[in-house]
Amino acid sequence: MNIILLGPPGAGKGTQARRLVEERGMVQLSTGDMLREAKDSGTEMGKRVAEVMARGELVTDEIVIGLIREKLEGENGGGFIFDGFPRTLAQADALGSLLAEEGQTLEAVIEMQVDDAALVSRITARSTCGSCGEVYNDVTKPIPADGKCSNCGGTEFKRRADDNEESLRQRLMEYYKKTSPLIGYYYAKGLLKGVDGLGEIDEVAGQIAAIID
């Protein structure tokens, strides 16, 4: 089963995708994570996109479609979770063609609905484990008191370069301008399912599980 997690920055896409990987053996394809890896490993592409990402703007369709194309040829376990992709109508069309080429289909597009005020407080309180990427939040999911990641025991935690109010404002603008048209696009295909992303992490996971099952 292949699904898209669609939602603004801080909606909880990464948090829920990681749970689906653990609980169902699905494969998370986060273009944001792929771009940050490219940046950290110092590739030419990584260097080129770093500033664009820090400003909160979208990277070109060509680059992200290329990243996804490579991954679709690999193993998909219990299905792919597209996290942060597609983000434009051109990317959505490209995903449709790529899946068709692989003989695969898209079963659901899960729109995670969260209001802007919650997004700002979530994003400015976020950190992630430097070793395994487990997502934490100073308020709702603090790093354990012993300073060790609950998933892997790692002790280094990172904050993202684009997790500041100015970049977040730009990311939200990009979302409403370029990504939110996908809600209508997938509604018309009969694939759109909404979940209330404002609930607790477990509650949101329950809503997503109900859709998948």
Residues making contact with ligand AP5 (CB under 6 A): 7, 9-15, 31-32, 35, 52-53, 56-59, 64, 84-85, 87, 91, 122-123, 125-126, 135-137, 140-141, 162, 171, 199-201, 204
DSSP category for residue 153: -
Catalytic-labelled residue, pool 13, 36, 122, 193: 13
Catalytic-labelled residue, pool 19, 87, 122, 193: 87
CB distance 106 to 79 below 8 Å: no
Which one, 14 or 103, has the nearer CB to ligand AP5? 14
Residue 135 binding partner per list ligand AP5, Mg ion, none, with a CB distance cut-off of 5 to 8 Å that depends on partner kind = ligand AP5
126 is catalytic: yes
87 is catalytic: yes
For the bound state, the minimum distance from the C-beta of residue 17 to Mg ion, rounded and expressed in Å, comes to: 8
**108-113 and 135-137 strand pairing:** unpaired
Burial code (b: 16+ CB inside 10 Å, e: under 16) for 125-141 equals bbbbbeeebbbbbeeeb
Residue 110 binding partner per list ligand AP5, Mg ion, none, with a CB distance cut-off of 5 to 8 Å that depends on partner kind = none
Subset of 5-64 contacting Mg ion (CB under 5 A): 14
CB distance 208 to 110 below 8 Å: yes
**Residues 6 or more apart from 79 whose CB is under 8 A from it?**
1, 2, 3, 24, 26, 27, 107
Question: Minimal CB distance to ligand AP5: which residue?
Answer: 32
For the bound state, the minimum distance from the C-beta of residue 60 to ligand AP5, rounded and expressed in Å, comes to: 7
Backbone angles phi, psi at 168, to 5 degrees: -65, -40
Subset of 68-127 contacting Mg ion (CB under 5 A): none
**Interatomic CA distance for residues 191 and 137, integer angstroms:** 31
For the bound state, the minimum distance from the C-beta of residue 184 to ligand AP5, rounded and expressed in Å, comes to: 18
CA distances from 173 to 84, 112, 168, 206 (A): 15, 17, 9, 29
Catalytic-labelled residue, pool 19, 39, 122, 171: 171
Could you give the residue numbers annotated as active site? 13, 87, 126, 160, 171
Which positions lie near Mg ion, rule CB under 5 A?
A: 14
